[in-house]
Structure 1
C-alpha cells in the first residue's frame, strides 16, 4: 500500500525525480526531495494552519453585526413619523424592533451619538492592527518563537481579547478590548500564510497560499449565518460563538502542527528540522542527515534582536526597492478592498443585495487564484487586475453621474444594475490582486525576513483601508470623490509592480546572501535558482 503522506492529492505534471543518492547543495533541494509531492500529510498541515484565517476574518468583520444600527418603529403615531430622524423625536414615541441588547448601539443608547463616538470601536480595532503590525511584525523571523508559536500566541490572545469584549459595560471598555483584539490579530494571517507555504515544496506553494484566502472568505460569510441563528440574542453571544471555537483551535494547533522546516534549519535546530521533514516527507532521518552534510548554507545568525529582520531589509538596496514597490501597490489595493464595500449603499437597488455580492466576490477570486496561480505570471497578474479594477471603478463613477441626469424608465437595463455590475467586477479584480500580491511577496523575499516583509505588506493594506471610509463619506454627494479616486488610486499604485522581478517557477531563497547572489547573477533576480 502506498504511503498516504507521499501520495499526490491532485494529478500534476511531475518533474523528473533526482535519485536520493545524488548529492544536494541547497536547502531547497532537501525540501523538494522530502516533501515535493502534495500528499495528505501536507494537506492536513496546510489546512489546519490556514484555518486561522477564518477566525481572523470573523474578528475583522464582526462589528458589522454587533455595532449595527437596529431597525425601529413608532409607538405613538400622533407624535412619531417612521420616515423622520429618530433623534428628533421624543424618546417615548418610538422603540427598537429587537431587544435592546442585540446591538451596542441600542444597549448603550448610541443612536444619536456623534460619528466619532459610534465609529470608535471600528477605528480602535484598525488602530490596534497598525500598532500590532509594527511591533509584532518581526517576531516570527527574529525571535525564538518562530512561525508556529507566533501564530499560536497571536490567535490565542486575539480570541481571549474577543472573549473579554463580551464583558464590556460601556463604549470605552468595548473600544479598548477591540484595540487589543486588533493588536494581536495583526500577525495571524501573516504567520498562517508564511507557515503553510513553507511546509510544502515550491510546486504547491501558490495553491497552498490560496487555501488561507478561502478560509478567510468562509469566515466572513459565517458571520451573517451565526447572527441569523442567534437572531434576537445579545451581541455578546456572537463574540462567544466566534472566540470559543478559536481557543479550541489553538489547542489543536499546538499539538498537531509542525514548525516551518526552513526556519528550524536557519536557526540551527537540525534535529527538529530532520524530525519535521521525516514526519511529513518520504525519506528517513538517516537519509536526510546525509543530505544535510552536503549543504553549505550558513545559519541565520544575524537576527540578534526582534527588529533585526527589518534592519536587514533596509540594508540592501534591492530589498528596499522590492519592499517599497509591493507596499505602494498594496496601499492602492487596500484603499479599494476596505473602502469599496462601505460605499455600495449609494449605488441604488437593495443594500443587502449589494453587500452580499461584494462578500461573494471573494470566493470566486480565491478559486480563480487557486486554480490558476501555477500558470499566472505574478507581476502581470497584479498589474492586470489592478488596472481592471481601476477602469471598472471609474466606469462606475461615470454611470453614477449619468444616472443623476437621465431617466432609466425607458432603458432596457437599469443604470443601477450597470453600476452594481461594474462595482462587483472592480471588487472581484482587487480581491484577486490582493491574493496574488501576497503570494508574490512570499516569493520575493528569503526565509530569514519573509514574515517581516509580508507583515509590512499587510500594514500597507490596512493603511489604505484607513482612507477608504473617508473617501466614501466624501463621495456620498459626489461619486467622483469615492469611486473615481478609488479607480485612479488602485490603477496608479498597481503600476509600481513593473519595477519588480518575476518569480513564477523560481526557487525561494533562505538567506539574504542567497537572494543577493541571485540578484547579481541575473541582474533582476528573475527565474534563477538559489
Structure 2
C-alpha cells in the first residue's frame, strides 16, 4: 500500500513544479556531509513546501468525524422513546413528560403505548422500559469496554508491525463493518457484543490520526494540523443529531447504517489518497519507499545524495531495553515512587473527567429539553474548549487550571441534579459542566506529556487515557439509573469529578519547564525541587 501513488497528491504535484525551493548544496548537514537525524533530513525537503502537502493530513483527520458518531450514537438509539396514556386528552403533554426521565414502568400495559414506532429505539423494540440500569447501560458500557481492551491489545501495532496508515485503515474498516452488523442485531446480547467489537477497533483511531497527520507535515504546520482533528471530531458530533432527526420515527437500525456506510467508503480514501509516514518507514529501514513519498510530498524529484546516506540514529541502551520488553516502561513507572505517585494522581483525575465527558451526552435524555437540540449544543461546546486549550495553554498553570475546571464541572453537575422544573437553566448548567470537563480533558493530556520523561511517556499517556475510558464504562450504568432518580446520574457525576479533581494538587506544576528524556533526569529534577523547597523554609 505504501507504493500506491495517491491520486490527490499526484494531481497537486503536477501543477506545482515550484512549490518549494530547489534543494541546494547548502542544505544543513553535519561536518561529515550527512544530515544529522531522520527528522531534520525530512524537514530539509518538506519544510518549505506549500500548503498542498497538508491535504493528506487533513484527509486523515476526517476519520475523527466517524469516530465521534460511533462514540455517541447510543444517545439516540438507546434513548427512552416518547409514550402516552391511552384515551388521554393530551397525549403530547404526556409524552413530553417522558423526556424528563418519567417511564411507563409499573403501569398496566393496556393503559399506555409508545408514541413512535416500536422499532424507533432498542428500549421499545426489546421492551426494556423496566430493565435494570445495568441492562439499560450494557450497550454503551460494552462499547467503552471494547475501547479499554483495544487500548491494551493494539497500542503498539502502529509503532511496530502495521505502521500508521495500515493501523488507521484496519481500525476504520473494522469499526465500520461492526457498526453495519449492529443494525442486524437480533437481541440485546448480540447488540452489546457488536458494540464491544466496534469499540475494540475504534480504540486506536484517535492515536493513529494524531501521529500520522503530524508526521506527514512540516514542523510549522504540526500545531495547526492538530487542531483540525478537534474540528473534525466536533463536526461528527454535530452531524449525529442532524442524522438522528432526519431518521426520527424510523428504526434505530437505520441510524447505524447511515453512519457506517460513509465510514466504510472513507476507508477507500485512506487506501488511495493517504501516504504512510515517511518517518516510520525510515525507522523501519524502508528507505526507498520513504524517499518516494517525500518526493511526492515535497513536489520535487530531487533528493540530495546525503539523504540516501542517511542512517537511523542509534538507540540508547535504555531504548533498546524498552524495545525488548514491552512491559518494562510500565514497570519503571510503578517501581519509582515519584512516577507512581504522579501516574496514580493523573489516572484518578482522568477517571473523573472521563465519566463526565462520555456520560454527559448519554445523560441528555434525562433532561426535559429537546434531545436533538441538546446534543447539538453539547457538540458545539467542544469547539471553544479546544480553542481555549490550544491558544491559552501557554499562559495557564496546569495544576490550578485543571483543578478549577474539574471543580466547576462538578458544581454544575450538582446544579443539574438540584434544578427542578427543567427549562433553560437546566440546559445551561449541563452545557457549562460539559464544557468544563472537555477543557479539563485537554489539560490532563498536556499535563501527562509534561510530567513524564520520553522513555516512558507513551506508556504513561496510554494508561491515563485508559482511565478516561474506564470512566466511560461506568457512566452508562449511572445514566440508566438517572432515568428514575436524576441524582444518581448528574449528582454522582458531580461528586466523582469534583473529588477526583482534587488529586491534581498532588502534582508538580509544569508550565514553562522543559521535558526530560530519561528517568534519571526527572529524578534529579524532582530531588532538586524538593531541596529548593527545604532551603526556602
TM (normalized to structure 1)? Answer: 0.78
2:469 aligned residue: 462
Q: How far apart are 1:171 and its partner, in Å?
A: 1.0
1:515 aligned residue: 517
1:391 aligned residue: 407
1:409 aligned residue: none
2:148 aligned residue: 130
CA contact (8 A) 2:347 2:463 kept: yes
Q: What's the secondary structure of 2:508's corresponding residue?
A: helix
1:53 aligned residue: 64
Q: Deviations over 1:221-255 (max 9, x none)?
A: 11111112222222111111111111111111012
Change in CA separation of 1:93 and 1:325 when aligned onto 2, cut-off 3 Å: closer
Distance in 2 between residues matched to 1:254 and 1:446, nearest whole Å: 35
Aligned residue pairs, count: 491
CA contact (8 A) 2:357 2:434 kept: yes
Distance in 2 between residues matched to 1:200 and 1:247, nearest whole Å: 26
2:313 aligned residue: 297
Matching residue within 64, 69, 86 for 1:75: 86
Q: What's the secondary structure of 1:376's corresponding residue?
A: helix
Matching residue within 73, 79, 95 for 1:62: 73
1:339 aligned residue: 359
Change in CA separation of 1:106 and 1:227 when aligned onto 2, cut-off 3 Å: same
Task: Answer yes or no: is 1:252 the counterpart of 2:263.
Answer: no
Q: Deviations over 1:65-101 (max 9, x none)?
A: 11111112233459x9947852333323332222111
2:54 aligned residue: 43
2:248 aligned residue: 231
- RMSD over aligned CA atoms reads 4.1
Q: Which runs of 5+ in 2 are unaligned?
A: 1-14, 527-537
2:186 aligned residue: 169
User: What is the correspondence of 1:486-497 to structure 2 with a 5 Å cutoff?
Assistant: 486-489=496-499, 491-495=501-505
2:440 aligned residue: 433
Change in CA separation of 1:490 and 1:261 when aligned onto 2, cut-off 3 Å: farther
Distance in 2 between residues matched to 1:243 and 1:255, nearest whole Å: 20
Task: Answer yes or no: is 1:89 the counterpart of 2:110.
Answer: no
Q: How far apart are 1:176 and its partner, in Å?
A: 1.1
Matching residue within 211, 214, 218 for 1:197: 214
Q: Which runs of 5+ in 1 are unaligned?
A: 8-16, 405-413, 507-513, 525-530
Q: How far apart are 1:415 and its partner, in Å?
A: 11
Distance in 1 between residues matched to 2:249 and 2:371, nearest whole Å: 21
Task: Answer yes or no: is 1:476 the counterpart of 2:476.
Answer: no
Q: How far apart are 1:53 and its partner, in Å?
A: 0.9
Change in CA separation of 1:522 and 1:72 when aligned onto 2, cut-off 3 Å: same
Distance in 1 between residues matched to 2:339 and 2:301, nearest whole Å: 37
TM (normalized to structure 2)? Answer: 0.77
Q: How far apart are 1:290 and its partner, in Å?
A: 0.5
Q: Deviations over 1:130-158 (max 9, x none)?
A: 111111112112x3101111111111111
CA contact (8 A) 1:386 1:429 kept: no
Distance in 2 between residues matched to 1:194 and 1:248, nearest whole Å: 22
1:366 aligned residue: 386
CA contact (8 A) 1:58 1:223 kept: yes
Distance in 2 between residues matched to 1:487 and 1:401, nearest whole Å: 14
CA contact (8 A) 1:36 1:201 kept: yes
Q: How far apart are 1:354 and its partner, in Å?
A: 4.9
1:498 aligned residue: 508
CA contact (8 A) 2:47 2:218 kept: yes
Distance in 1 between residues matched to 2:383 and 2:281, nearest whole Å: 34
Q: What's the secondary structure of 1:263's corresponding residue?
A: helix
Matching residue within 491, 495, 498 for 1:485: 495
Q: What's the secondary structure of 1:87's corresponding residue?
A: coil
